[in-house]
């Protein structure tokens, strides 16, 4: 039976360490976890559909991926993978986020301009259908073999993800590949079928903690029981060597009860909107919270300033940014605990880990060897 969009992508559940080779059915295929936009590409008789995680068609945002799909895929082909942007040998999620933001309201000229300035690379990791032949019930080892055969027709901007069945090598990958901007590892059972929407794979990601300063908070989308704004997210900052206080991200995902508790805990640090605060009087060199813009539409990004004195420990996975002292958390951080023993000005960038750089080109050139 021919596959049609939308198809829920197969998902992975987290595991704390690289799993043993016999952890999944038929043995494990260890693969890099790409930090990009998960998509399923459908090559139809009429054109190309690039289905995003939400089921929407992103083809108009990525015209360069559509052009490559039209040239290299036969009608009736469906491929699961990730769109990424590679610059200077590393994944660049920040530039990728810019690609998705313009949408139609920014006009076609902006989409075309960004596709030329920051073109995407497609990393394929599963073949669901080929020339109307559904492969979802085939074992993963067979789907991957067919995918590699198909990829020999592709251009230099499309690749099949590397894979290994060696636990020792996978463990080394987990450490080394972070230097290229990858997220961790995904582990798949060699005998597993493709199960849309099911968490039948495993994933292991990097996890770290840092002591940061809470410089403000944003309100939750829903008010508290008395109609008052309550804490939706904490705005987090670090000091650089010059003493500038930069926003480096946010912490969120609190329960409703915890949001109300945070409101009380933050009251002693509240300051007026016209108070002296490094994020209220930016010097042009300091990263500060932004307000609504054409990128965010009507989303309210206003925030409540706090005296930068309260220190919190947060868990995070990776940083992103051009230099070690111009970075921020790639994803939303998780609040761990308050650190009343820390002085705010001692929370510097130097506490962060900086992985050794790893060139993505050498990784992507290894696909055939690791098939």
Question: Active-site residues: which are they?
Answer: 33
Q: How far is CA 361 from CA 45, 125, 185, 317, in A?
A: 33, 17, 18, 23
Nearest to 129 by CA among 145, 147, 151, 141: 147
Q: How far is CA 106 from CA 37, 115, 355, in A?
A: 20, 14, 36
Relative to beta strand 158-160, strand 121-130 is parallel
Tokens representing 92 are 């660049």
Nearest to 176 by CA among 192, 160, 159, 164: 164
Nearest to 204 by CA among 175, 179, 180, 181: 175
User: Quick check: bond before 6 cis, omega within 30?
Assistant: yes
Cβ atoms < 10 Å from Cβ of 346: 11
Q: Are 370 and 163 in contact (CB under 8 A)?
A: yes
Secondary structure (3-state) at 206: coil
Tokens representing 306 are 């706090």
Alpha carbon distance 181, 115 (integer Å): 21
Alpha carbon distance 351, 358 (integer Å): 21
- DSSP code for 10: P
Alpha carbon distance 22, 15 (integer Å): 14
Alpha carbon distance 128, 2 (integer Å): 10
Secondary structure (3-state) at 312: strand
């Amino acid at each position: 039976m021919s596959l049609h969009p939308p198809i829920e992508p197969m998902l992975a559940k987290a595991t704390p360490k690289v799993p043993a080779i016999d952890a999944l059915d038929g043995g494990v295929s260890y693969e890099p976890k790409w930090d990009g936009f998960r998509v399923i590409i459908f090559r139809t008789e009429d054109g190309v559909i690039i289905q995003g995680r939400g089921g929407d068609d992103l083809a108009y945002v990525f015209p360069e991926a559509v052009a490559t799909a039209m040239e290299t895929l036969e009608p009736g082909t469906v491929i699961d993978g990730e769109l990424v942007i590679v610059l200077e040998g590393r994944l660049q999620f920040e530039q990728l986020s810019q690609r998705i933001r313009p949408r139609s309201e920014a006009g076609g000229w902006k989409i075309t301009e960004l596709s030329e300035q920051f073109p995407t690379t497609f990393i394929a990791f599963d073949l669901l259908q080929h020339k109307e032949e559904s492969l979802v019930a085939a074992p993963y080892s067979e789907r991957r073999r067919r995918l590699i055969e198909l990829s020999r027709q592709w251009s230099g901007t499309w690749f099949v993800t590397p894979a290994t069945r060696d636990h020792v090598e996978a463990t080394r990958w987990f450490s080394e590949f972070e230097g290229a901007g990858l997220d961790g590892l995904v582990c798949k059972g060699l005998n597993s079928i493709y199960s849309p929407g099911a968490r039948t794979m495993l994933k292991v990601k990097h996890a770290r903690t840092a002591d940061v300063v809470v410089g403000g908070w944003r309100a939750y989308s829903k008010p508290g029981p008395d109609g008052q704004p309550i804490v939706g997210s904490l705005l987090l900052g670090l000091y650089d060597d010059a003493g500038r206080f930069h926003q480096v991200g946010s912490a969120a995902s609190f329960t409703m009860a915890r949001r109300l508790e945070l409101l009380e805990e933050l009251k002693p640090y509240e300051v007026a909107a016209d108070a002296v605060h490094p994020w209220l009087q930016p010097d042009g060199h300091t990263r500060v919270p932004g307000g609504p813009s054409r990128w965010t539409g009507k989303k309210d990004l206003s925030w409540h300033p706090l005296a930068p004195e309260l220190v919190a420990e947060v868990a995070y996975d990776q940083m992103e940014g051009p230099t070690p002292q111009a970075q921020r958390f790639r994803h939303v951080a998780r609040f761990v605990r308050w650190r009343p023993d820390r002085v705010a000005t001692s929370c510097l960038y130097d506490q962060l880990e900086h992985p050794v750089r790893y060139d993505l080109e050498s990784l992507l050139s290894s696909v055939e060897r690791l098939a």
